[in-house]
Each structure stands twice: as C-alpha cells, then as structure tokens.
Structure 1
Amino acid sequence: MAHPTTTLPQEAASLSQPPSKMDIIFNKSFRSLTYAFTWAMVLLLAAIVIKIGIKAIPAIERHGLAFLTTTTWDVNSQHFGILPEIWGTLYSSLLALILGGFFGITIAIFLTQDFLPHRVEVVLKSIIELLAAIPSVVYGLWGIFVLIPLIRPLADFLHTHLGWLPWFSTSLSGPGMFPAALVLSIMILPTIAAISQDAFRAIPHKTKEAAFGMGTTRWEAILKVMLPAASGGIFGALVLGLGRALGETMALAMLVGNSNQISLSVFAPANTLASLLALNFPEAAEYEVSVLMYAACILLLITLLVNIAGTAIIAMTGSGAKK
C-alpha cells in the first residue's frame, strides 16, 4: 500500500533550502560594510584624540599635572589651572544625575506598569521624548528668565534657615550651580526615561504574574521584582545620561555662572570644562588654544573613565542577575 506523500508548507520548504549565491554575497557584503563602519568610527575617534593631543602638547609640557590641581586662570600672566572646572563639571553632572535619574526611573515605572490607559501612556511618552528635541540655548534662556526667578524665594529661604549647612551657605544672586543642575536634569531626563522604559518592557510579563502568585502587592512586585530585573538597563540609562550631562555646553555656559571657584554650595556660581572651552575659544590666542586643548583632553578622559566605570557596573549587575 502506497503511503501518501506529505507536502511541506512553502515557508518550511524555503527554510530547508541552502542559501543561494546572492544570499551569501549579500550577507558577506553586509558584514564587511558593518566592520568597515565600525572601524571607521574607531579611526575617527582616534583621529580626534590625536589632533587634540598634538595641539595640547605645548601646554602639557609647560604645566604638567599642576594644570589639574591649581585654580588660577589668568591669560595675562599665562597661569592656568582647571581644578574649579573639573569640580564644576562633576558636581553639576552628579546633581543632575540624581534629579534626572530619580524622575526618569519614576516616569518609566509610571508608564510601563499599567498605571494609565495605553493611549495616555503613548501621549505622555511622546511629550517626554520631545524634551530631547529642544535646543540647548532655549533651555538656557528658559533657565535665566523663568527658572532662576522661580527658585530664588526657595533659595533665600534655605539660605536663611539652613545657611549653616555647606550646601546652602550662599544665596542665589543669579546664575549658579542649582539652576544649572535643574536644567541639566531636564535635558537628560528623556534619555534615562526612554531607556529605562525599554528595560522594563523587556521583562517577560510572566515575571510580574509569578510575583503576584507569590502573594506580593503591586508595589512589592514593582520594587522588589521588576526594578531589580531591569537594573542592568537602568544602569545603562544612567551612564548615558551622565555622559550627556558631562558634555553639555551652551545651557551650562548661560546658567552656571562661569566663576572660577570651588564651593559645596548649590547656590554659588561655578564653571565647567565644556563652558570654559565654549566661552574662551573665540578670542583665544595661539598658546591659549593649546591650553584649552589640554582641558579638552581632560574632559575626554573624564568621559572615558565614566563610561568604563558604567560598563563595569552594568557587567557586574548582569552577572549578579544571572546568578
């Protein structure tokens, strides 16, 4: 008795066929193109670093490591130091990361854990992402004309009643660290919120259902199950946000006060490396350009170290989650 022949579906038949010559050529071409673009980016970064490093050699030879530990910036006497700018860069970025990270993660939880109808979530997500499209100079103008007058009464209250604390030891007379950090936190908020949302949405829905099955409340499931499960992506979002904050220029140049001093007070004016570069390059003489290139090398090094540390934290978080 003859057995009836079974015909495979067209999709299964196509999957069982070996790749054609055109498929092989296309795959090899795409892989080669990907490698080429990857190495092109590496070479471009190396070219930028080498170009800046060559320009900075005269300043490096003259000032050495003292450039990083002194506070004087005097063009006339040729004495240069960027310790206040390093302090201002790290201080403003960390303040912005604390504020932007807290609200960014909170927004991600709010938009991914079924607190709102789907249509409202889409609208709010689009509005938050639009914050990333606002030009930096617009943030700076908004900070000068709206934010500083708005927060000055609060700053005066904190200085009057808590002035014995180093963080409130000065009053807010105008541009300063606090308005700069607030604006910077808003600027990094879309990045942190968007990537954190992706991290939460990547968690299988059965994970939350299993937590509910174990008797957890809604907030226990979010804070004790979902948040640790998404920690790798959230740390990645925070690292990207910090990198964005370290390199911000125009808004901070308008809001931070551009004062060559070191202070713990969040109301005192300060300065950052990016602001220093932006404000001094247009009128810089030949040697001052070399000094500014030295400062640019330090900013690149800080950014590199932050990314290396962030990558290490993400790797340790991922390995801990797997265990």
Structure 2
Amino acid sequence: MGVNMSVGTTMSSQPVSVKTTDAPTPSMVSIAKRQRLQDVVFHRLTQSLSLLVLAALLGIIVSLFVYAWPAFHKFGVQFIWRAEWDIVNEEFGAAIAIVGTLASAGIALLIAVPLAFGIALFLTETCPVWLRRPLGTAVELLAAVPSIIYGMFGLFVFAPLFADHFQVPVQKLLGSMPLIGFMFGGSTNGFGILAAGIVLAFMVLPFVAAVMRDVFEIVPPILRESAYGLGCTTWEVVRRVVLPYTQKGVIGGVMLGLGRALGETMAVTFVIGNANRMPTSLFSPGTSIASTLANEFGEAADFHLSTLYALGFLLFVITFVVLSAAKIMLLRAEKAKGL
C-alpha cells in the first residue's frame, strides 16, 4: 500500500508536457499575408473601375453642359419649351424635339410592353418544352439586329404598307369624327410620329421580352407548384406569385426598353418625317432629339452646334429623370409592402 502511494506520488509530481499545434507555421503566415494582399488589390481594382465609370459619366455631363452653355445662356430655361427652330436667324427651341421623342417612345412602350409580357408569359408558363428554346433564341436574335436594319425595314417595307393599309382606311373612317378625328389628320405617306413609335416598338420588344422571360424563370418552382396545388389558375399564379416576386426585374426591363426608345437614332430618323414643326396628329411628321442630332450635327457650326449639344444634354436629363422616377416607384412599392 505504501509502495503504491509513493509510486503515485512520484508520478503525479512529474510535469506533464503538452505539445501545442495551434501556433502558425511560417508557411501559414505567408499564405495569410498573400491572401490579404490579394483581397486588398482586388478591392482597390474594382473600386477604381467603379470610380472610373462614375468619372466618365460626370465627364460626359460636364462636357455637354460646357458646350451647351451658349445656348442656355441666350435662351435660358425657355429653351425647353420654345418651338422655334430657325437656323438662319439662330432662333432655337427644344420643344418640338422633346415632344417627338416622348411621343414616339410612349407609343413604342404602349405597344411593346403588353406584347413582351405575353411573350415572356408564354415562354415560361404555357409554352411546350420542345418550342421553348427555339422561340426564346429567336427573340434574343431579334434583340441583336442593328438599328439601321430596322430603319431600312421601316423605310422600304413598313412605310408603304402602313400608308396603304392603315393610314388611308383609318383616316377615312375616323378622320371626320368629333373629338378624336384630329388625331388622324395629316398626310398619309407612311411617315410620322405613329410610324416611328411602331418601328421603335419592333426594336424595344425583344429587349423587354428577353428580360421579362429571364426574371420569370428565376421564380422558385415550389412557389408555382404550391399555387397550382391550391387550385389557382395560370393567370392567378402569374398575378399573385410571379409578378410580385419579379416586380423589380419587370420594371427594370421596361425601363431598359424605354431608354432604348428615347435614345434611338437611325430607325427613328428613317420614318419620323424629320419636320421641325410641332406634330398635330399621329400621322404628322415630326422629329426627335436623336434624329435632329443625326441630321444636323455634321453640318452645324458655332451657335447651331451649341444648341445641338444642349439637345443632347436635355436627352440625358430626360433619361435620368425617367430612371429616377422608376427607382422611386420601386422604393414606394417596397415600402407599401413593408419590405
């Protein structure tokens, strides 16, 4: 008994050495330093690229305003609603071009958005599987067609058909009616504000449809299946599940189409009529900011050139205001939902 106690005492008195493996090795330290350096470099690089884009945007705004200053200095804010465009006497106003730009873009969206919504809905909800891929590819290919092709199509194919089979019959039928007859007056040559809006709708439609299709496809299948399991129809699933889930993407696609319509140049130049007078009907020829720049920039000089820069600056402002309004609308919608 005593021997055992002495042995136990001797063993307990000896220090127990524990080997620690938590200390970082030199290789681990070097790897950690290299990773931190990579993170810092990547962060600074992406930050620099972002700031470069912002600087380029600010540079464009400042340069446009500097070159447009003589026109703004002479006419002031009245330049926005002045309807004169007299190159000889140097009397200019942006009202005609602004009205043509907004009218043609508005017509394009009124036509393109419902059609794009129907195409996207068909491709994601009711289209047969064997047809979904080729039809979706066809829509994407339409988005890749250059604008000059749409302009040539509008000038040589669409305008004659539009004049013979739409403008003439509609003017005979509705031109003499009270209240709405003035909207269908003017020459029936296939050109004008409505023709430009329809051609723009051809261009905008593939963009909006492709974006809507992509955002509809990201809806989790379990949400659709749950709604169908509760007895919802296809339209109820779209209205109560798909659209609330993809609201931001849908509005973003519409805004993308609107931005394309506001800034489109060649297609509008071919079919809008290029007349510097205020349109009085849907068939009246007009002009837009982009088409005015395309037609007159090459021959402009001195003060005339400054007014064209002013039109470009106003186009930028209009686009910025439209996109800002869309963003505010989204924020209010999210606030109303409590998000």
Distance in 2 between residues matched to 1:96 and 1:157, nearest whole Å: 22
**Contact kept? 2:72, 2:310, Cα under 8 Å:** yes
Contact 1:103 1:189 in 2 (8 A): yes
Letter of the aligned partner of 2:117 in structure 1?
Answer: I
Secondary structure of 1:58's counterpart equals helix
Which TM-score applies when normalising by structure 1?
A: 0.89
1:111 is displaced (CA, Å) by 0.8
Distance 1:206 1:72 in 2: 59
Task: Tell me the equivalent position of 1:289.
Answer: 305
Matching of residue 259 in structure 1 with residue 275 in structure 2: yes
2:125 maps to: 113
List per-residue Cα deviations over 1:271-290 (Å, max 9, x = no partner): 10111111111111211111
Question: Quick check: 1:140 aligned with 2:156?
Answer: no
Residue pair 2:160, 2:189 contacting (<8 A) in 1 also: no
For 1:188, the equivalent position in structure 2 comes to: 204
Q: Which moved more, 1:308-317 or 1:74-83?
A: 308-317
- Counterpart-to-counterpart distance in 2, 1:272 and 1:77: 21
Q: Indicate yes or no: 2:45 matched with 1:29.
A: no
Letter in 2 for 1:272: S
Once structures 1 and 2 are overlaid, which stretch shifts more, 275-284 or 223-232?
223-232
Q: Tell me, yes or no, if the aligned pair for 2:161 and 2:190 is still in contact at 8 Å.
A: no
Offset, 1:173: 1.6
Alpha-carbon offset, residue 80 of structure 1? 0.5
Q: Which residue of 2 aligns with 1:130?
A: 141
Partner of 1:206: 222
What RMSD in Å do the two structures reach over aligned CA positions?
A: 1.9
Secondary structure of 2:298 counterpart: coil
The corresponding residue for 1:73 is 85
Tell me the equivalent position of 1:8: none
Distance (Å, rounded) in 1 between the aligned partners of 2:100 and 2:108: 12
Deviation at 1:321, TM superposition (A): 4.7
Q: Distance in 1 between matches of 2:138 and 2:32?
A: 47
Q: Which residue number in structure 1 is paired with residue 68 of structure 2?
A: 56
Q: Distance in 1 between matches of 2:37 and 2:247?
A: 40
Q: Report how far residue 170 of structure 1 moved.
A: 3.0
Query: Any conservation in 1 of the 2:162–2:190 contact (CA below 8 Å)?
Result: no
Deviation by residue 1:112-145 (Cα, 9 ceiling, x = unmatched) = 114221x421111111111122121111110011
- Structure 2 vs 1, CA of residues 174 and 218 (structure 1 numbering), >3 Å: closer, same or farther? closer
Query: Residue type matched to 1:99 in 2?
Result: I
Aligned amino acid, residue 153 of structure 2: W
For residues 23 and 155 of structure 1, the distance between their equivalents in structure 2, rounded to whole angstroms, comes to 68
Unpaired runs of 5+ residues, structure 1, are 1-16
Q: TM-score, normalised by structure 2?
A: 0.85
- The SS at the match of 1:200 is helix
Partner of 1:177: 193
Deviations, residues 279-313 of structure 1 (Å, cap 9, x unaligned): 11111121111111111111111011011011112
Structure-2 separation of matches of 1:229 and 1:175: 41
Judging changes above 3 Å, is the alpha-carbon distance between structure 1 residues 193 and 22 closer, same or farther for their aligned structure 2 residues?
farther
Sequence identity percentage: 34
Does the 8 A contact of 1:232 with 1:317 survive in 2? no
Q: In structure 2, what is the Cα distance between the partners aligned to 1:232 and 1:46?
A: 26
- Report Cα offsets for 1:130-174 as digits up to 9, x if no partner: 112212111111001111122222221111111131332334223
Match of 1:278 in 2: 294
**Distance of 1:208 and 1:296 partners within structure 2:** 46
Structure 2 SS opposite 1:20:
helix
Larger Rg, first or second structure (1 or 2): 2
Residue 239 of structure 1 pairs with residue 244 of structure 2: no
C-alpha deviations, 1:49-68, integer Å up to 9, x for none? 11111111111111112211
Q: Which amino acid aligns with 1:296?
A: G
Cα gap change, 1:230 to 1:321, in 2 (>3 Å): farther
Contact 1:246–1:303 (Cα < 8 Å) also in 2: yes
